[in-house]
Amino acid sequence: MSQLIRFELYKLCTSIPALLFIVALLLYLMSSVFSEEEANVRAKYAAWEGPATAETFKKIHDRANKINDEDYDLDNQFGSATSYENEAFAHLFNIEEAQIFKAQGLEALANKTVEPGFDERDRALHISLLKQINLDTIQYHIPAEKAVAFTTQTGVAVLLFPLLLLIAFIYSKERVSGVDQYQLPAVNGRTKLLTAKLIAGSIFLTGVNMILHLGILGLASYRFGTIDWSAPMQVVNGLTDSPYPFSIGQYWLVSFGYQTFVLIVLGIWVLTISFFAKTAIQAILWSSILMGVPLLYQFVISGIFFLEMKLFEQGILFFPSRALLTGEVFKTYQTIHLGIPLLLPVAILLVQLVVTLIVLKFLYQTSRKRQVV
């Protein structure tokens, strides 16, 4: 079995053109993560580090209004120094916004009348999570924020391309070329070979995700040296309303584990498509639909067909390619009613696990029954 796994890994890792494309894509996307002027933004930000009090934010607002006033220093208003300061303010205001969301959320929950049972437990869980969030300090978090934003948003493209360019193409090509005809006569061999493909694909995708995360971490460390990951995840743009009491570093690690699981699930589904596809083009086409439609939902489908429907907004996150965008999964407080309030990220993993087990059972049964032509 170990030899089969190594052989399958060898096939995935020696597709030079595909791997070069993936590496080039990663380098291209990473090059835009950290600007060369980050040190100047850091200098503007440093003046405000310390307790995140209402008085501090009042001073920040006064300063922001002053430098952006039409009558203030017209010669430098659109200069680089002002732009650096405004960028620092944009990140600082995320902290203030997160404080407001937390306070409003706790107040609304405290005043909310709920029925005993699920609603009561759901409210208690929500309050417990919010109370654990610490937003009392302003600390320089921009490098950590940008690293997390990359791995949970733009960097997802680097994770999806190996599925299309390698797994879908290589595995479907075996059937087209007739290689599978040499493998099918031994029924037990089919099971071992399929298992080897699944394990090799999972190892390969885990490695790709690890390279993505280590790559952005290495780039951030090279640019900034030691990075402070202790700021709460709510300071990240788009996550100010998140109820999860993680630091940016903890969220980064949770996101890595979450993405790895979802990526393996998606890899199994793509391999299953490749197993039944008659050509490599078909495998890539159907895999593209599986991954692409959920990703396009926010930009096309939702705006046309399902305006402001929470059911679809939740349901689309159960598709693996969409769940890779962990910034959306952990963005707000959402639970599923199963007698107890089950947090949406956990529910997504459980559903994907159950569906994947069903897919695997069907795949193994079909593999054993497939006839030699």
| 278-287 tens-digit pLDDT | 777 777 788 8
What is the SS3 string spanning the chain?
Answer: CHHHHHHHHHHHHCCHHHHHHHHHHHHHHHCCCCCCCHHHHHHHHHCCCEECCHHHHHHHHHHHHHHCCCCCCCCCCCCHHHHHHHHHHHHHHHHHHHHHHHHHHHHHHHHCCCCCCHHHHHHHHHHHHHHCCCCCEECCCHHHHHHHHHHHCCCHHHHHHHHHHHHHHHHHHHHHHCCHHHHCCCHHHHHHHHHHHHHHHHHHHHHHHHHHHHHHHHHHHHHHCCCCCCCEHHHCCCCCCCCCCCEHHHHHHHHHHHHHHHHHHHHHHHHHHHHHCCCHHHHHHHHHHHHHHHHHHHHHHHHHCCCCCHHHHHHHHHCHHHHCCHHHHCCCCCEEECCCEEEHHHHHHHHHHHHHHHHHHHHHHHHHHCCCC
Q: What is the pLDDT of residue 372?
A: 46
Q: What is the pLDDT of residue 222?
A: 81
Q: What is the pLDDT of residue 169?
A: 61
Q: What is the pLDDT of residue 357?
A: 94
Residues of the chain with pLDDT under 70: 9, 16-18, 36, 69-80, 165-190, 298-313, 369-373
| 197-222 tens-digit pLDDT | 888 888 888 988 898 898 888 888 88
Q: What is the pLDDT of residue 373?
A: 43
